[in-house]
Amino acid sequence: MSADPSQFEEPIARIRRRIEELSSIDTSGEAEPAREAEIAELRQKLTKVSDEIYSNLSPWQKTLVARHPQRPYTLDVIASLIDEWMEIHGDRNFADDAAIVAGFGRFKGHAVCVVGHQKGRNTKEKVLRNFGQPKPEGFRKALRVMRLAEKFKLPVLSFIDTQGAYPGVGAEERGQAEAIAVNLREMASLKVPVIITVIGEGGSGGALALGVGDRVLMLEHAVYSVISPEGCAAILWKSSAAAPEAAAAMKITAQDLKKLNIIDEIVPEPSGGAHADPAAAAELLTPYLEKALKELMKLKPAQLVDERYKKFRKMGVYEK
């Protein structure tokens, strides 16, 4: 079992390296047109190879893409889509949890509330953000801000990207399960539009605690599941090495979840995945958020709550 996306991305990386090499060469005169022509040809090849690889990813490979260290995180999405961003800190009970960001800003001129998981890229950031694994105070902070949004009649945009809630002793002592359960209950009854977007890895209760909404969007190569493939493999196969088999069996991809009516829309990603071009990924997400917001803003508060309740109650119900 390989847990490194660079294994299947090597053909893409090889072309990118060649483009960088050619771009760094200082040429002039007759050699310049030839260099530019080769670069143009390589860029076309890069798009073709990226499309071929990313159109045939296995569920396990999609899991690795969802965890890619360069994949855009919540703050990256906020930087691209949200104007006048103002972050709110602390749960007014215990502490501020940097694994969850929450605040207010404007999306396409509309005042909105934004909550989401936040991972780190370097060691210092990963420690600060607790590897994107929230503690109870993180969920309570998010709920505090969402309640403010309800008070001022602002829609909520929630971005999911976590392996799961933090399982440490301190988190359990401070009521981890209770904090998640309260968020589920309270988000179900919010009287404002709530739009969920799974941008990376949606794991377990840590994801669900920010995941109850009127519309659930999911990026093309994101994953969403009650447990990680490794965790499932350790339980059912008695070995985490069976993670690829578990990922296939669990139906964790956007394509699988759309068929099961767990999510509403699959948001396409740029060629080579969102990490290849975060700005383009944000641009592709924008019309989906705009459409959902426009539709939901027409509904009365009671309608929002009623339809949200029905949406989640019918999941997993099948008639012969």
Assess if residue 71 is contained within a domain: yes
Angle at 174 between CA 172 and CA 179, to 5 degrees: 85
| pTM for this model (two decimals) | 0.91
DSSP secondary-structure letter at 263?
-
Q: Do 221 and 92 share a structural domain?
A: yes
Per-residue pLDDT at 317 exceeds 80: no
| Element containing residue 74 per DSSP (H, E) | helix 74-81
CATH code for the domain of 293: 3.90.226.10
pLDDT digits (tens, 9 = 90+) for 234-268: 999 999 899 999 999 999 999 999 999 999 999 99
Q: What domain count does the chain have? A: 2
CA dihedral 27→33→36→41, nearest 10 degrees, is -140
pLDDT digits (tens, 9 = 90+) for 101-155: 999 999 999 999 999 999 999 999 999 999 999 999 999 999 999 999 999 999 9
Distance CA 59, CA 223 (A): 8
Q: Which of residues 1 and 242 earns the better pLDDT score?
A: 242
Question: Which one of 18, 37, 56 terminates a domain?
Answer: 56
Phi, psi angle pair for 209, to nearest 5°: -65, -15
For residue 178, the model assigns a pLDDT of 97
Beta-ladder partners of 140: none
Q: Do 118 and 47 share a structural domain?
A: no
Distance CA 195, CA 123 (A): 31
What residues make up the domain containing 12? 6-56
Question: Which one of 17, 35, 56 terminates a domain?
Answer: 56
Tokens of 251: 């139906």
pLDDT digits (tens, 9 = 90+) for 277-310: 999 999 999 999 999 999 999 999 999 999 999 9
Distance CA 41, CA 43 (A): 5
Question: Which one of 34, 56, 78 terminates a domain?
Answer: 56
Per-residue pLDDT at 13 exceeds 80: yes
Q: Do 46 and 85 share a structural domain?
A: no
Assess if residue 179 is contained within a domain: yes
Assess if residue 318 is contained within a domain: no
Q: Do 39 and 110 share a structural domain?
A: no
Whether the Cβ atoms of residue 189 and residue 159 lie closer than 8 Å to each other: no
Q: Do 273 and 129 share a structural domain?
A: yes
Tokens of 59: 């569920």
Average pLDDT on 212-233 reads 95
Q: Do 49 and 67 share a structural domain?
A: no
- Amino acid symbol at 158: S
